[in-house]
């Protein structure tokens, strides 16, 4: 645990990446695993993730992210795109997957299907979109912690234009929309933020121990 907390202290929102240092394929695969294993409400994983190392695509995304240098200097850009709506087809695919993996008859999942239809599919689209994005943020958190564990630097980012990102990624006509992004790579020695003290609420302000 001590080591885990040390790594969380080591992590900071990296402002300046070293453009020469790239993630290895093993490192990328570990980060993908941390996203794949993320918890999500009911396990519905209502998002997909674009993993971008292509320099041309990163350069196109940069102006749509207020020209933040992380977009092009970092080795990889992760774009978490949430579903805009969750329909019956999506639910059926999810139930099929449970049925296959756990060897359960699909008709034995009808109770779950009814519950998810009421709780998710029949909800207003705006609520579904917000809910999907919340789930994507959990995966973002896992990515940041896993990266810190591997001594990989990251910067979570909301400073981007989702509509422009969707256009560049070619998803604007689909059921996905960019929710949040993270850049990953290795810090530049010149990044002064790595020396800044962490600013956090005091425990007394943050926690209510009951
Ligand atoms: C959801 C989210 C969005 C953020 N957006 C940006 C961003 O667009 N650009 C940036 O440089 N930092 C961004 N940050 C980094 C935060 O400013 C940073 O995490 C916070 O100040 C705490 O500092 P630390 O992470 O270095 O400990 C974001 C962080 C989060 C969690």
Query: Average pLDDT, stretch 65-71?
Result: 98
pLDDT above 90 for 31? yes
Cα of 15 vs centre of ligand 1, distance in Å, is: 9
Q: What CATH number is given to the structural domain containing 30? A: 3.40.109.10
Least Cα distance to 35 among 21, 25, 47 occurs for 47
Whether pTM > 0.95 for this model: the answer is yes
pLDDT above 90 for 122? yes
Q: How many CB atoms lie within 10 A of CB 116?
A: 21
pLDDT of res. 5: 96
For residue 181, the enclosing domain spans 2-85+129-206
Report whether 65 contacts 159 (CB < 8 A).
yes
Give the side-chain half-sphere CA count within 13 A for 111: 2
Q: How confident is the model at residue 1 (pLDDT cuts 50, 70, 90)?
A: confident
Atom of ligand 1 nearest to the CA of 196: 26
Residue 139 lies inside a defined structural domain of this protein: yes
Task: List the beta bridge partners of residue 200.
Answer: none
Q: How many domains does the chain have?
A: 1
Residue 95 lies inside a defined structural domain of this protein: no
Taking CA atoms, 117 is separated from 44, 88, 112, 158, in Å, by: 12, 7, 8, 31
Residue 197 lies inside a defined structural domain of this protein: yes
Residue 108 lies inside a defined structural domain of this protein: no
Nearest CA to ligand 1 atom 9: 157
Residue 55 lies inside a defined structural domain of this protein: yes
Nearest CA to ligand 1 atom 6: 157
pLDDT above 90 for 21? yes
Least Cα distance to 181 among 199, 167, 161 occurs for 161
Strand 47-52: give its sheet, edge to edge: 47-52, 76-83, 176-185, 153-157
Query: Average pLDDT, stretch 188-200?
Result: 98
Cα of 77 vs centre of ligand 1, distance in Å, is: 15
Residue 103 lies inside a defined structural domain of this protein: no
| Residue scoring higher pLDDT (1 or 52) | 52
Residue whose entry in the numeric block shows the structure tokens 């998810």: 116
Least Cα distance to 146 among 39, 18, 27, 16 occurs for 27
Residue 102 lies inside a defined structural domain of this protein: no
pLDDT above 90 for 2? no
Give the side-chain half-sphere CA count within 13 A for 34: 21
Q: How confident is the model at residue 22 (pLDDT cuts 50, 70, 90)?
A: very high
pLDDT of res. 63: 98
Pocket test for ligand 1, best of 9, 13, 67, 160 (most atoms within 8 A of CB): 13
Query: Average pLDDT, stretch 151-168?
Result: 98
pLDDT above 90 for 56? yes
Least Cα distance to 194 among 186, 202, 182 occurs for 186
Please give all residues whose beta carbon lies within 6 A of any atom in ligand 1, as ranges: 12-13, 15, 68, 155-159, 180, 198
What is the β-pairing status of strands 76-83 and 176-185? antiparallel
Residue 70 lies inside a defined structural domain of this protein: yes
Q: Is the dihedral of CA 76, 79, 197, 152 positive or negative?
A: negative
pLDDT above 90 for 93? yes
């Amino acid at each position: 645990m001590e080591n885990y907390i040390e790594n969380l202290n080591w992590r900071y929102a990296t402002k300046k990446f070293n453009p020469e240092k790239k993630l290895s394929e093993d490192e990328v695969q570990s980060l993908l695993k941390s996203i794949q294993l993320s918890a999500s409400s009911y396990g519905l994983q209502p998002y997909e993730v674009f993993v971008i190392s292509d320099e041309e695509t990163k350069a196109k995304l940069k102006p749509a992210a207020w020209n933040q240098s992380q977009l092009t200097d970092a080795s990889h850009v992760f774009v978490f795109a949430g579903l805009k709506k969750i329909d019956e087809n999506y639910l059926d695919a999810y139930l099929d997957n449970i049925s296959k993996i756990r060897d359960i008859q699909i008709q034995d999942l009808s109770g779950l299907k009814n519950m998810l239809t009421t709780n998710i599919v029949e909800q207003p689209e705006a609520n579904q979109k917000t809910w999907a994005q919340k789930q994507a943020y959990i995966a973002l958190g896992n990515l940041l912690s896993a990266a810190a564990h591997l001594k990989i630097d990251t910067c979570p980012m909301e400073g981007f234009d989702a509509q422009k990102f969707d256009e560049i990624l070619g998803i604007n006509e689909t059921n996905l929309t960019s929710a949040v992004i993270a850049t990953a790579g290795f810090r530049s020695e010149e990044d002064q933020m790595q020396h800044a003290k962490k600013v956090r609420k005091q425990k007394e302000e943050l926690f209510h121990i009951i």
